[in-house]
């Protein structure tokens, strides 16, 4: 029987998950109405989320539209904290395959960014 000893060193510290905001959107939060995309943004983290941006990108990754998302309180009272934003698209744009993304430059240290994007079907 052999014993393996592993020595680990912390290279850098990060903000604990319980001290991070978390913005989120899901497929049911994104609605296309003609040339407008309405997006309901949720705050899910344990601290308030700072103001950010939401963008609409075409399938090649180019930004078509952008909108400011105001700061959102954390849902510490267990009630939803949301806001609605609208992304106008150029008239006649085929929106299938476009992506809606919160915090497109990943400037906010969130719990996860896996809930920051929806591709339009």
pLDDT band at 110 (very low <50, low <70, confident <90, very high): very high
10 has a pLDDT exceeding 90 = no
Q: What pLDDT score does 54 carry? A: 98
Residue 86 has pLDDT above 90, yes or no: yes
Q: Which residues contact 63 (CB under 8 A, 6 or more apart)?
A: 55, 56, 57, 104
Average pLDDT, the chain: 95
Q: What is the pTM of this model?
A: 0.86
* Chain centre to alpha carbon of residue 56: 12
- Which tokens belong to 32? 């296309």
Q: Which two tokens stand for residue 59?
A: 């399938």
The model's pLDDT over 58-81, given as tens digits with 9 standing for 90+, comes to: 999 999 999 999 999 999 999 999
Query: In this structure, what token pair is assigned to residue 71?
Result: 């700061």
pLDDT for the residue numbered 98: 97
pLDDT at residue 13 tops 90: no
Q: Give the model's confidence band at 21: pLDDT under 50 very low, under 70 low, under 90 confident, else very high.
A: very high
Report d(CA 120, CA 116) in Å as an integer: 13
Greatest Cα-to-Cα distance within the chain, rounded to the nearest angstrom: 71
């Amino acid at each position: 029987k052999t014993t393996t000893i592993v020595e680990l060193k912390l290279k850098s510290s990060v903000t604990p998950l319980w001290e991070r905001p978390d913005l989120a959107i899901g497929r049911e939060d994104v609605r296309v109405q003609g040339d407008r995309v309405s997006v309901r943004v949720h705050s899910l983290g344990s601290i308030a989320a700072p103001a950010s941006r939401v963008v609409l990108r075409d399938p090649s990754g180019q930004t078509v539209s952008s909108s400011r998302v105001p700061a959102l309180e954390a849902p510490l009272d267990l009630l939803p904290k949301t806001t609605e934003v609208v992304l106008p698209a150029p008239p006649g744009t085929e929106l299938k395959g476009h992506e809606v993304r919160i915090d497109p430059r990943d400037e906010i240290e969130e719990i996860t960014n896996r809930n920051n994007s929806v591709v339009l079907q």
